[in-house]
Amino acid sequence: MNEWRDEGVAWPVANPVVTCASLSDANFPSNFVADPFLYVQGDTLFLFYETKNSITMQGDIAVAKSTDKGATWQQLGIALDEDWHLSYPYVFNYLGQIYMMPESSQKGELRLYRALNFPLQWTLEKVLIKKPLVDSFIINHAGIYWLFGSDHSGFGTRKNGQLEIWYSSSPLGPWKPHKKNPIYNVDKSVGARNGGRPFVYDGNLYRVGQDCGETYGRRVRIFKVEVLTKDDYKEVEVPLGFEEPNKGRNAWNGARYHHLDVQHLSSGKWIAVMDGDRVPSGDPVHRFILGSASLAAVTVVAVVLGVLLGAVKCIIPLSWCAHYSGKRNNALLGRERSNLFSSKVRRFCSRLNRVPLSVRGKIKPNTWAGKLVLAVTIVVGVALTCIGVKYFYGGNDAEEAYPLNGHYSQFTLLTMTYDARLWNLKMYVKHYSRCSSVKEIVVVWNKGRPPRSSDLDSAVPVRIRVEDQNSLNNRFKRDPMLKTRAVLELDDDIMMTCDDIERGFNVWRQHPDRIVGFYPRLISGSPLKYRGEKYARHHKGYNMILTGAAFMDHTVAFERYWSKEAKAGRELVDRYFNCEDVLLNYLYANASSSQTVEYVRPAWAIDTSKFSGVAISRNTNVHYKIRSNCLLKFSEIYGSIAGRKWEFDGRKDGWDL
């Protein structure tokens, strides 16, 4: 709903709004959250959902509330905890009472609970049906109450492809089976299993179903109910209108989303809640298999390396073989002859142990060929080790965003370029658009024929802003179309990891009044002289951050840059075709006596323009001389910043990674 707040963090709040970490941080340990259902009371939204307790490893029903239209959520705790697994907490109102019908298939029955003290105290009202129904809901349609659910326990039932219907004059029952039960018993990709609350739009009833074809809960599908009577049922699939996440596992729902609850508010607006996951069902097993295979391969490489170095004389010691204890006697030999399999294993090991002899004879470590083989073997071993560790401990393989106070946010990526650097831009957009927190990419096009947005492989919208004049001042031009407070100004020739970008964004959210970036400079000396990062590190401090790779609040930064006070500085930028980042640092320093810049050290960064010959600053000496002149001019206009200095902070300097 794009809710904004004027607070000291980056708004608007981004998805996901609730994670298992949200619940764990509130002292309710959780492994995952799923199956969300909304209940609306006035201006307050209550969110009921399944949570898997990371201690008991059992599904419980948790509840949270929001008083700001769903932007933020307060975790209230566990609403329902039974001795069996609970999920799918369908909450509804009937005759002034609030009821919850969670899935209790492990108990073997469908149970209805009534709120004693909403939302945290519930009591069992009634067992509706003595069947292990999965993902059930109740609706009132044409004066009759209908219950939809799946029973996967029957003989010949297709799991996740079965659906049944019952009807009654009251949600309390008794319930009678539909004449056509089972309504579905088809392939699991068809959407038979329910995936959330049904809803009415323009007088039509819609059912939410799960597509479990590729993996359990891969996506939700919407079906328009055309016929619902005691004797017949017909529905037809309609478009959901939801764009598939294309950031892969860097999206909060990149691997699957299997539940949707839609609510029509009294204001006339609509609100919906969806669950999502970055990893498909069964992914931990997949990671374990690949991780084990990688580490097994490392063992093989280590043995090969040992053989090449002469440290390993046999691959498998015969003492490891069954019935072998070193010295043979007649009784032992008799047992060995009777054990054909053991003999075959021992013969295989003996033959395998002959391999090192031939290899050591052919490869000499002192020769160039031998050294090359050893180097390649070591590189392969290190690579396989990294792969194995990644699969075992690498989580879901996503470069995830960092929450601040339990909330996520997004930023706009802004870069400035021209036609000769189009190849740079294509690589840049393809890479950074898949970072978790990037909402949009704005390309400031300064010269030449601009590309079309469709020419760029992007996971987010790309807006190309064509400028009339080729000026570096365009980088900080006011732009009312920006959708986020946070802007990452990043040159199109800088490539770094998404994780570094996300870390920098997290630091900026903690200090939104500062320029937070990845390239520090220390301006000092008499006369002032522009120097590189090595100088700043040698003197253990910095007072400037290059805005070619920096986060800032565009509502503050761009206003300062285009203020009357900055006019003389902008004219110098146009004259030198340089120093726009230096000017912004001076404007920040001039506006505050406290710290105005913050440094985050990236794990690595590559300047891709060096490979193409289209670098803007190809001659470093000339480039630094021009910037030194800028320092002198800006100091005369805005006052010197040479007296400021902030030490590098190890917590943000990449040293803990």
Check: CB of residue 523 under 8 Å from CB of residue 641: yes
Q: Is the peptide bond before 527 cis (omega within 30 degrees of 0)?
A: yes
Number of other residues whose CB lies within 10 A of the CB of residue 261: 26
Task: Determine phi and psi for 581, rounding to 5 degrees.
Answer: -70, -35
Number of other residues whose CB lies within 10 A of the CB of residue 106: 15
Are β-strands 597-599 and 515-517 bridged in parallel, bridged antiparallel, or unpaired? parallel
Is residue 553 part of the annotated active site? The answer reads no
Which residues in 489-503 are b (16+ Cβ under 10 Å) and which e? Answer: bbbbbbbbebbbbbb
Check: CB of residue 229 under 8 Å from CB of residue 165: no
Task: Please give the Cα distance from 550 to 565 (Å, whole number).
Answer: 23
The token pair at 430 is 């393809």
Torsion region of 486: left, alpha or beta (phi above 0 gives left; psi -120 to 50 gives alpha): beta
Task: Please give the Cα distance from 560 to 591 (Å, whole number).
Answer: 9
Which stretches of 255-353 are DSSP H helices? 283-309, 330-338, 340-353
Task: Please give the Cα distance from 409 to 9 (Å, whole number).
Answer: 9
Q: At what angle do helices 330-338 and 340-353 cross, to 10 degrees?
A: 100
Cβ contacts of residue 640 below 8 Å, gap of 6+?
528
Angle value at C-alpha 419, between 413 and 424, nearest 5 degrees: 50
Task: Determine phi and psi for 218, rounding to 5 degrees.
Answer: -60, -45
Task: Please give the Cα distance from 77 to 332 (Å, whole number).
Answer: 67
Check: CB of residue 559 under 8 Å from CB of residue 585: no
On the CB side of 291, how many CA atoms lie within 13 Å of its CA?
Answer: 14
Check: CB of residue 383 under 8 Å from CB of residue 311: no
From the list 283, 581, 649, 653, the catalytic residue is 581
The token pair at 514 is 């500062």
Which amino acid, one-letter code, is at 312? V
The token pair at 283 is 């992914």
Task: Please give the Cα distance from 491 to 487 (Å, whole number).
Answer: 13
Torsion of CA 439, 445, 446, 450, to 10 degrees: 170
Check: CB of residue 221 under 8 Å from CB of residue 209: yes
On the CB side of 267, how many CA atoms lie within 13 Å of its CA?
Answer: 9
Catalytic residue numbers, as ranges: 581
